[in-house]
């Protein structure tokens, strides 16, 4: 676990440390992704699966996706908190000036908290004088779609799902599920436990392929983010543990 210990503040009265939940979240997302993959692999090899395994698979995949976005949010929030509190450990020459520039460039905590996740990443890069992610960057687009999926799941409102349409002209997309189906239908391998007559989202979407897609693209973005800042990623020491299968 990546923690930043601090000295005792007043003799023997208090010892403090700063936890790093971003590491917990990406470890959880990767582990859950692997567990989901193991169930799918067993099913592929045996052709059999128990109802309990199907339920476990759904829980693993759903929470892997949620944990991945929590990782993205906590990573940028922790960086911001550390630079504002002046406790981010510099790794090389020029780091202190860079961190100070970020801290001074975005002092308004309320404004930071209200900003969308990817806006935070982009604005920190701009403040630091680094190149932001192009809007059409494939990984950036994938993460944007991932965050939309998480937001839909976390703030879920029931909606009608169209299973079949008549022979007339196709109507415009009426639901978020239809939108996700259009955008992501060929982005990853579908959930093998969902029948072909089921809608793409959420049934055929939420399988190991989706969870793996989420973890990999999120790490691509955070790796590139810290590389552009020339700072070590908080999960650098456990990178080899973040396998998805």
- Write down the residue that tokens 């079949």 correspond to: 164
CA geometry: angle 218, 224, 226, nearest 5 deg? 105
pLDDT by 10-residue block (mean), the chain, 245 residues: 52 68 97 98 97 98 98 96 84 81 84 92 95 96 97 86 59 75 93 91 96 98 97 94 97
pLDDT tens-digit readout, 177-195: 888 999 998 999 999 999 8
Q: Report the half-sphere exposure of 24 (CA within 13 A, side-chain side).
A: 7
Residue 189, phi then psi, degrees to nearest 5: -70, 140
Tell me whether the omega of the peptide bond preceding residue 202 falls within 30 degrees of 0, making it cis: yes
CB 219 within 8 A of CB 234: no
3-state secondary structure of 5: strand
- Write down the residue that tokens 């639901």 correspond to: 175
3-state secondary structure of 17: strand
Give the number of other CB atoms < 10 A from CB of residue 241.
12
Residue 143 Cα distances to 135, 138, 159, angstroms: 11, 9, 24
Contacts of 13 (CB under 8 A, 6+ apart): none
Predicted structure pTM score: 0.88
Give the number of other CB atoms < 10 A from CB of residue 154.
10
Quickly list DSSP for 82-93. HHHTT-----ST
* Domain extents in the chain: 17-158+171-241
């Amino acid at each position: 676990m990546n923690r930043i210990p601090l000295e005792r503040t007043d003799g023997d009265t208090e010892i403090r440390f700063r936890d790093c939940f971003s590491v917990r979240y990406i470890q959880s997302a990767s582990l859950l992704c692997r567990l989901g993959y193991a169930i799918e692999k067993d099913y592929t090899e045996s052709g059999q699966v128990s109802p309990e395994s199907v339920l476990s698979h759904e829980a693993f995949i759903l929470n892997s996706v949620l944990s991945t976005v929590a990782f993205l949010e906590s990573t940028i929030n922790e960086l911001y908190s550390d630079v504002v509190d002046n406790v981010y450990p510099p790794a090389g020459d020029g780091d202190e000036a860079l961190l100070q520039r970020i801290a001074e460039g975005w002092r308004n905590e309320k404004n930071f908290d209200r900003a969308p996740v990817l806006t935070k990443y982009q604005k920190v890069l701009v403040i630091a004088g680094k190149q932001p992610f192009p809007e059409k960057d494939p990984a950036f687009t994938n993460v944007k779609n991932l965050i939309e999926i998480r937001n839909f799941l976390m703030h879920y409102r029931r909606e009608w799902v169209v299973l079949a349409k008549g022979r007339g002209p196709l109507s415009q997309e009426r639901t978020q599920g239809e939108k996700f189906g259009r955008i992501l239908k060929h982005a990853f391998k579908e959930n093998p436990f969902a029948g072909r007559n089921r809608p793409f989202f959420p049934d055929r979407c939420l399988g190991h392929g989706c969870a793996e897609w989420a973890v990999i693209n999120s790490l691509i973005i955070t790796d590139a983010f810290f590389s552009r800042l020339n700072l070590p990623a908080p999960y650098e020491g456990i990178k080899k543990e973040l396998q998805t299968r």
